[in-house]
Amino acid sequence: MSMSLTCLENEFAFYVDLWNVDANHLSLVTGLEGDVNVKFLLTGGSLVKVRSNNWKKNRFFKLQEDFRTVFQETHKIIGRKNTFSIDDIDTVRQGRHSEGLEKYTDENMEDRCFSVIFKNRRKNLDLIASSREEAAYWTTGLEKVVRAMHNLSRQESSEHWIFNCMRKADKNHDNKMTLKEMKNFLRTINIEVNDNYAEMLFKKCDTSKSGTLEGSEIMHFYSLLTNREEINVIYSKYACTGGQMSAEDLLKFLVYEQRERSSMSDALRLIEKCEPDETAKENGHMTKDGFLMYLQQAEGMIFNMAHKDLYQDMSQPLNHYFISSSHNTYLMEDQLKGPSSTEAYIRALMKSCRCVELDCWDGENGEPVIYHGYTLTSKVLFKDVIKAIKEYAFKTSQYPVILSLENHCSLEQQKLMAHYLRSILGSALVTEPLGDKMPTHFPSPQDLKGRFLVKGKRMNKLDSFFSSSSALEEDSVSEEDEAANVKMPGEKPKSKSSKMKLARELSDIVIYCKSVHFVSFEHTRDTQAFYELSSFKESKALNLAKTSATAFICHNAEKLSRTYPAGSRTDSSNYNPVPLWNAGCQIVALNFQTPCKEMDLNQGQFLPNGLSGYILKPKFLRNRATEFDPNRLTRGPWMQKKKFHVMIISAQQLPKLNKEKKNSIVDPLVKVEIYGVPDDKAEKETHHINNNGFNPMWNESFEFTVFVPELALVRFMVEDYDTASHNDFIGQYTLPFTSIQNGYRHIHLCNKRGHVIPSASLFVHIMIMDLQ
């Protein structure tokens, strides 16, 4: 069902009832009418909430009639909300597939257990139902509601949210709105207006002069509130056929404004998809409501739809790709006292991370563990981590996962590590070179789909697989002992061991990613094989990227490089990955658990190509004879100078930052940031808009010159202006410059953790032109 303004007017009675929000109407909106699982959720029931062996308590849960929140019974008086939002749910896992349920429940409870996994730092909700059937009702019902809310169009999601806010403002539930309720509603949706304007708006809508708004008056108020003048202006320019856009008019808009290579069939397809008025659709016309719907669909977004799915060549050697990579993957928080968890691996893998780190140490009862050595971080069993990796590695991406081992274990526990890797990962683990002869270069991501590679120390050369000689080489400890770089406050630095004993069983499963110490680019070129990989601490890597960028690029055109944050980053903060991508480094490892600008850049870098976690490097970074230097630009194939014109027009439904304070309204401004080679780095910002997060309008234009577009990222950031302190983060969106579409485009904003904020968007105009 379409939710355009035309529909609102034509089905007035339906939507007045919708304002009152009854579950039957909302289920119509979400397509869940009559669903037995959802009806079960709306009735609610008792579940056992699990926190530990000793904390398992019955609590009542129920889906609220707004379809956006779940009530949960709580006996905690202070500081505990008794609801959570459907929008905050990442996934619902059936069975004992969380760390808590695996630890604190018995195997015979498997079919009664499930977990609600949240997008933010909030802990998982681990639950036990009274029966297998009841667990199925809960999990299936929640999955359907999450999916239905996620699948609402931007227009539907926006209107659903607004009507829900209206319902909450109607304190006495009389289906009417007083002036006071209207002012409270406006604050709820992030608009502060003075009393005179509020009274003027109220009187304009109160045509019955009853002192309340009801029925058609509420719909008139809604129409005034959601009217977008900027869309009206654009539409009227091209609506040249009886006040509407014909297919020909729409095609002109697509070609001249959106700079798309569209045909008449493309225009007709958009009308069929987006137009809510059946008469207009039959005539091949698009109304203003249909035009707005189009602009809020994927076709109207800034991100090029052609780049959404896998579109790059995946048959090139592995080192020709940037690889989404995690540092200290086991940590949920900081690296001094934070908890280690299998959940951290699951979250990274579900974000398409393709290289995870396993910091392995001797544990009790002969069982190797993973944690951040020399610190107070908690420990997790190595075998549990491998099980979690096996389960979740290929749910988002089918392309290979690299297991980066930092090995501090005794021989016996190393042997057990090798046993777990082989027995749990099975045939998916690469244990010998592909093919029947000694390789001279890496296999491709395509060759390695669904496979695991181990990165670590190896005793001998890879050609031992193809010769009778299997002489072992003496080997030393990890090329950079990352854990030794971290110390507790007041402690002396831990000494680094120069030698270690390596179990043959563990050595033998290191195939394409043999860890070696870096001496120099000349030494690497002359003495090391293609599969021998060096890791670089951020200071070393950034220095090489600055002083020897071309040599670093040539090195990475043949071999793999891994970089990682300095041990002094005890708060698990991140370094800037861009200079290292500019130098061709493939495995730029970041702390995925830490929300920050650097992780925004990482998410933007790996947004295209089907969320595969692999991005093909530009050709000039794959050429071993390249002369490209990102720090001192010269003419070459990398120089594709562009003029980037951006007009920040408006924003829609920005979130309130302080929901506890009803009168807290944001004063938004927009920053446009360019990241890439040093000559391309730039930032510009708009003025701020006072007291309006619902529909602020800027109409400010900026121009940038981009010299190396294939390495540029663009970040749009919205902040809440503050005169007395730093501006507060509202939302952001980052994408590669080469994935930007021209024309009038919406931008879906993301929160600090990279999740899309429902309904919140920017509206911009983009023009990219070639420069000589």
* pLDDT one-digit tens code per residue, 476-524: 444 344 544 544 445 455 555 457 799 999 999 999 999 999 999 999 9
Out of 209, 226, 243, a domain closes at: 226
Let me know if residue 163 belongs to a domain: no
- In this structure, the answer to whether residues 146 and 186 fall within a common structural domain is no
Range of the domain at 286: 229-300
Annotated binding site: 49-76, 328, 357, 359, 406, 455, 457, 535, 562, 665, 667, 691, 720-722
Tell me the range of 16-30, 92-106, 297-311, 482-496 where mean pLDDT is highest.
Answer: 297-311
Q: Is residue 469 part of a domain?
A: no
Say if residue 15's pLDDT is above 50. Answer: no
Residues 185 and 260 in one domain: no
Q: Is 530 exposed, middle or buried (0-12, 13-18, 19+ CB in 10 A)?
A: middle
Sort strands 682-685 and 614-616 into parallel, antiparallel or unpaired: unpaired
Residues noted as catalytic:
327, 372
Tokens encoding 223: 């129409």
What integer is the mean pLDDT of 276-304?
95
Q: Return the higher-pLDDT residue of 515 and 198.
A: 515
Is 254 domain-assigned? yes
pLDDT by residue (tens digit) across 171-196?
888 888 999 999 888 888 888 888 88
In a domain, 42, yes or no: yes
From 180, 210, 226, the end of a domain falls on: 226
| Mean pLDDT confidence for 650-657 | 92
Mean pLDDT along residues 72-97: 82
Asked whether the whole model's pTM tops 0.85, one would answer yes
Residues 442 and 591 in one domain: yes
Binding-site residue set for substrate: 49-76, 455, 457, 535, 562
Q: Each residue of 410-428: pLDDT tens digit?
A: 999 999 999 999 999 999 9
Q: Is residue 311 part of a domain?
A: no
Model confidence over 328-382: pLDDT tens digits?
A: 999 988 777 778 899 999 999 999 999 999 999 999 999 999 998 877 888 999 9
Q: State the pairing for strand pair 125-128/45-50.
A: antiparallel
d(CA 568, CA 302): 38
DSSP string, 226-270: H--HHHHHHHHHH--BTTBEEHHHHHHIIIIIS-----HHHHHHH
CB within 8 A of 162, min separation 6: which ones? 189, 222, 225, 226
If asked whether residues 561 and 436 sit together in one domain, one would say yes
Share of the chain above pLDDT 90, in %: 72
Does residue 181 sit in the same domain as residue 262? Answer: no
Q: What is the number of domains present in the chain?
A: 5
Question: Do 73 and 215 lie in a common domain?
Answer: no
Higher-confidence residue: 11 or 468? 468
Task: Name which of 83-92, 334-343, 523-532 the model is least confident about.
Answer: 334-343
Residue 689 Rama label (left phi>0; alpha psi -120 to 50; beta): beta
Residue 277 · residue 5 · CB < 8 Å: no
Angle (CA) 601-615-147 rounded to 5° is 70
Q: Do 540 and 420 sit in the same domain of this protein?
A: yes
Which of 139-153, 565-579, 732-746 is the most confident on average? 732-746
Q: Can you say which residues are annotated as belonging to the binding site for Ca(2+)?
A: 328, 357, 359, 406, 665, 667, 691, 720-722
- Give me the residue label for tokens 């008019």: 249
Q: What is the pLDDT of residue 608?
A: 98
User: In CATH, what number is assigned to the domain containing residue 179?
Assistant: 1.10.238.10
590 and 602 fall within a common domain: yes
* pLDDT level of residue 8 (50, 70, 90 thresholds): very low
696 SS3 class = coil
Residue found under tokens 């090329």: 479
